[in-house]
Amino acid sequence: MKIVVRAELVTDWGETTIIEVARFDRPVQLPDPESIGLSLADGKQLLSGLQQVVIPAQADEYCEIRRVCSHCQRQTQLKDYRRLTIDTVFGTVSVRSPRLMSCPCEPPFYLEVLFSPLSQIIPERAVPNLLLLQSRLAAQMPYRQVVVMMKEFLPGTEKLNHVTVRNRTLRVGARIDAIELAPGEALSPDTEWSIAVDGGFVRGREKVRPASFEILTGRLAASGVKPRVFACVRSEVPSIADKFAALLQTCAGTRSPKVCVITDGGNSVQSIHRQLPFPVTPILDWFPLSMRIRNLEQISQGMQAWSETETHTKNLLHREMTKLRWCFWHARFEKAKDKIRQALVLCRIIVAETPAFEESMRHLDYRLRDLWAYIEGDKTSLVTYAKRQKANKPISTAMAESAVNQIINARMCKRQQMRWTTRGAHLLAQVRCAVINDDLPAKLAAYYKKKSELPEHISRFLELLRRGAAQEPQPF
Ligand SMILES: [Zn+2]
C-alpha cells in the first residue's frame, strides 16, 4: 500500500489548500517487520514536511492580514520579499518574508516606514519552544549530549552543534536570572520560611588561581509549599543579600517575611543573613553540633581505665557527655555549659596513672574547648531543636546540601570533565534551578511579557501620537 499524508490548510477567511506532506510505500508482498507502521525516520520526515508546509502558509496568512491597516482599513504598500530562516523544533524552515510600508495612522510607528511583520514576531529566528526545549535538556545533560539526543529524535538537526545549544541556554539563563515568581498557593503572612544555603565548587576555565570557584546554592521551604532551590555565583550578582531578599519577598508575598536562616557555623554564607533588609532568625545547624557531641561521647566511652580512680573518672565523664546532647536538643544551654565546665575541671585535676588515659583526657579537654568556642561564636543561633523538629521544621542544612547535589554535582561536577566560566556556570545554574523548580516556561513567559511592555515614557509618547492622528487636520 501507499500512504500519502496531505495537509488541508484553511485560512481564517475560508480559503482551502491541500498540500502533500509525505508519502510512504508499504509493499504488501514484502512481510518485513521494519515496514510495519512508521519508523522514526518516517516520523521525522513527516513532522519536518508538515512544518515546511505550515509555517509559510501561516506567514502568508498573517502578512495578508497585517497589510490591512487596523485603523483606516487601507491596504498598505508591499515593498518586496526577503528570505527568513526560522529554527523550529521540527527543523529549519525558510520562508518568504514580505516587507511592508506601515500606515501612518497605526501603532507602533505612526509613520510610513518599511518593516517586516515576520521579523517582528520572531526577532531571534528561533521559536521560543525550541529555546525552551534546548535549555531544558541542557540543564540536565552536557551540551554535546543535547545535540546527540536531538539528532536522534528530531528532524532538521543535521547542522545543530553544541555551541548553538550553549549560547541559547545561556541566553535563556540571562533572561530568567532576574525573574522571581511567587508560588501559586496563597500563603498567610505568618508563614515561617526556612532558608538553608551551602556552597559547591566547580572547576573554572580561566587559568588564573583559584582553579575552581563556588556556586552558592540553597533551598527555601515553608510548610505547605513545594520547596524551591536557587543558585548563584557571587561574582555574577551585584549583591547576594539583595538577591536573597528579592527571592524571599517574592515567595512570601510580603516586604518583611518571617525567615529562619540555617547556617553551619564555619560557612562563608553566614554573614549574608545579617545584610538582609528584614530581621531573620539565624539557626545553628544541628548536624555539626551533634557530630561534635558524638565525638565527645566516643572519646569518653573509649577511655582505657586501669585503676579505680580512672574508672570512676571515666564513668563520671561519660555520664556528663551523654547528657550534653539532651541539653542542647532541649535548649538548656546553661546546664550544658555547666557540664562542659565540670568535665574540663575533671580533666585537669585528675592525675592519670597510665599514659593512654592521660592522652584520652587531653583529647577530651581539647574537644570540649573546641565545642565551647563553637557555641560561643553562635550563641544567638542556638534554638530549641526538639520543638522545631516536633513542628516539622528543618533543623539542619542537609536540605541545602541536597540542593548542591541536585544543582551542581549532577550536572557540573561528577564525572563531567567540563570547565566553567563563572558567567556560564551562573546562567546554567539559573536554568537548572528553574527546571528543578518546574517554572522555566512560566519564567520565560514572564520575561516575554515584560519585554513586550513598552517603557512608560514611550507608551505616553505613542498615546500622544495616536491622539494626534485621530484628530482632523486643522485648517491653517
Ligand atoms: Zn491607516
Instruction: Report pLDDT for 333.
Output: 83
Domain annotation covers residue 54: yes
Tell me the CA–centroid distance for residue 448 and ligand 1, in Å. Answer: 28
Q: Is the pLDDT of residue 335 over 70?
A: yes
On whether the CB atoms of residues 248 and 257 are closer than 8 A, the answer is yes
What SS3 string covers the chain? Answer: CEEEEEEEEECCCCCEEEEEEEEEECCCCCCCHHHCCCCHHHHHHHHHHHHHHHHHHHHHHHHHHHCECCCCCCECCEEEEEEEEEEECCEEEEEEEEEEECCCCCCCCCCCCEECHHHHHCCCCECHHHHHHHHHHHCCCCHHHHHHHHHHHCCCCCCCCHHHHHHHHHHHHHHHHCCCCCCCCCCCCCCEEEEEEEEEEEEECCCCCCCEEEEEEEEEECCCCCCEEEEEEHHHCCCHHHHHHHHHHHHHCCCCCEEEEEECCCCCCHHHHHHCCCCEEEEECHHHHHHHHHHHHHHHHCCCCCCHHHHHHHHHHHHHHHHHHHHHHCCCHHHHHHHHHHHHHHHHHCCCCCHHHHHHHHHHHHHHHHHHHHHHHCHHHCCCHHHHHHCCCCCCCHHHHHHHHHHHHHHHHCCCCCCECHHHHHHHHHHHHHHHHCCHHHHHHHHHHHHHCCCHHHHHHHHHHHHHHHCCCCCC
Tell me the CA–centroid distance for residue 11 and ligand 1, in Å. Answer: 24
Choice between 455 and 72, residue whose per-residue pLDDT is larger? 72
- pLDDT band at residue 186, thresholds of 50, 70 and 90? low
Instruction: Report pLDDT for 152.
Output: 93
Q: Distance between alpha carbon 35 and the CA centroid of its chain, in Å? A: 44
Q: Is the pLDDT of residue 265 over 80?
A: no
Tell me the CA–centroid distance for residue 13 and ligand 1, in Å. Answer: 21
Domain annotation covers residue 257: no
**Amino acid, res. 258:** K
User: Looking at residues 348-366, what average pLDDT do you find?
Assistant: 86
Tell me the CA–centroid distance for residue 105 and ligand 1, in Å. Answer: 4
Tell me the CA–centroid distance for residue 121 and ligand 1, in Å. Answer: 20
Tell me the CA–centroid distance for residue 66 and ligand 1, in Å. Answer: 11
Tell me the CA–centroid distance for residue 118 and ligand 1, in Å. Answer: 19
Domain annotation covers residue 274: no
Tell me the CA–centroid distance for residue 72 and ligand 1, in Å. Answer: 4
Q: How far apart are the first and last CA of the chain?
A: 78
Tell me the CA–centroid distance for residue 429 and ligand 1, in Å. Answer: 47
Tell me the CA–centroid distance for residue 119 and ligand 1, in Å. Answer: 21
Domain annotation covers residue 57: yes
Q: From CA 170, how far away is CA 427, in angstroms rounded?
A: 6
pLDDT tens for residues 276-316?
888 888 888 888 888 888 998 888 888 888 888 888 888 88
Q: Is the pLDDT of residue 74 over 80?
A: yes
Tell me the CA–centroid distance for residue 446 and ligand 1, in Å. Answer: 32
- pLDDT band at residue 237, thresholds of 50, 70 and 90? confident
Tell me the CA–centroid distance for residue 69 and ligand 1, in Å. Answer: 5
User: Looking at residues 327-353, what average pLDDT do you find?
Assistant: 86
Tell me the CA–centroid distance for residue 127 and ligand 1, in Å. Answer: 30
Cell match 552536557: residue?
142
Whole-number percent of the chain with pLDDT over 70: 92
Tell me the CA–centroid distance for residue 56 and ligand 1, in Å. Answer: 26
Q: From CA 476, how far away is CA 240, in angstroms rounded?
A: 61
Tell me the CA–centroid distance for residue 107 and ligand 1, in Å. Answer: 9
Q: Give Cα separations from 356 to 249, 302, 352 (angstroms).
A: 57, 11, 9
Tell me the CA–centroid distance for residue 113 and ligand 1, in Å. Answer: 13
Instruction: Report pLDDT for 30.
Output: 64
Tell me the CA–centroid distance for residue 248 and ligand 1, in Å. Answer: 48
Q: From CA 288, how far away is CA 378, in angstroms rounded?
A: 13
On whether the CB atoms of residues 290 and 280 are closer than 8 A, the answer is no
Q: Is the pLDDT of residue 377 over 80?
A: no
Q: From CA 219, how far away is CA 114, in angstroms rounded?
A: 50
Instruction: Report pLDDT for 225.
Output: 80
Tell me the CA–centroid distance for residue 65 and ligand 1, in Å. Answer: 13
Q: Is the pLDDT of residue 52 over 90?
A: yes
Domain final residue pick, 87, 107, 126: 126
- pLDDT band at residue 95, thresholds of 50, 70 and 90? very high
- pLDDT band at residue 138, thresholds of 50, 70 and 90? very high
Tell me the CA–centroid distance for residue 74 and ligand 1, in Å. Answer: 6
Domain annotation covers residue 237: no
pLDDT tens for residues 383-399?
788 888 887 777 777 76
Tell me the CA–centroid distance for residue 137 and ligand 1, in Å. Answer: 45
Tell me the CA–centroid distance for residue 110 and ligand 1, in Å. Answer: 9
Instruction: Report pLDDT for 267.
Output: 53
- pLDDT band at residue 46, thresholds of 50, 70 and 90? very high
Greatest mean pLDDT among 27-31, 350-354, 463-467: 350-354
Domain final residue pick, 80, 99, 126: 126
**Amino acid, res. 135:** S
Tell me the CA–centroid distance for residue 106 and ligand 1, in Å. Answer: 5
User: Looking at residues 248-252, what average pLDDT do you find?
Assistant: 84
Closest by Cα among 94, 459, 67, 424 to 416: 424
Instruction: Report pLDDT for 56.
Output: 92
Tell me the CA–centroid distance for residue 57 and ligand 1, in Å. Answer: 25
Instruction: Report pLDDT for 415.
Output: 58
Tell me the CA–centroid distance for residue 67 and ligand 1, in Å. Answer: 10
304: containing domain: 287-381
Tell me the CA–centroid distance for residue 476 and ligand 1, in Å. Answer: 23
Instruction: Report pLDDT for 270.
Output: 63
Tell me the CA–centroid distance for residue 471 and ligand 1, in Å. Answer: 13
Tell me the CA–centroid distance for residue 108 and ligand 1, in Å. Answer: 12
Tell me the CA–centroid distance for residue 111 and ligand 1, in Å. Answer: 10
Tell me the CA–centroid distance for residue 114 and ligand 1, in Å. Answer: 14
Domain annotation covers residue 417: no
Q: Is the pLDDT of residue 416 over 70?
A: no
**How many distinct structural domains can be found in the chain?**
2
Domain annotation covers residue 169: no
Tell me the CA–centroid distance for residue 372 and ligand 1, in Å. Answer: 80
Q: Is the pLDDT of residue 134 over 90?
A: yes
Choice between 109 and 70, residue whose per-residue pLDDT is larger? 70
pLDDT tens for residues 106-121?
877 778 889 898 888 8
Tell me the CA–centroid distance for residue 120 and ligand 1, in Å. Answer: 19
Tell me the CA–centroid distance for residue 116 and ligand 1, in Å. Answer: 17
On whether the CB atoms of residues 42 and 50 are closer than 8 A, the answer is no
User: Looking at residues 172-177, what average pLDDT do you find?
Assistant: 92
Domain annotation covers residue 364: yes
Domain final residue pick, 126, 147, 168: 126
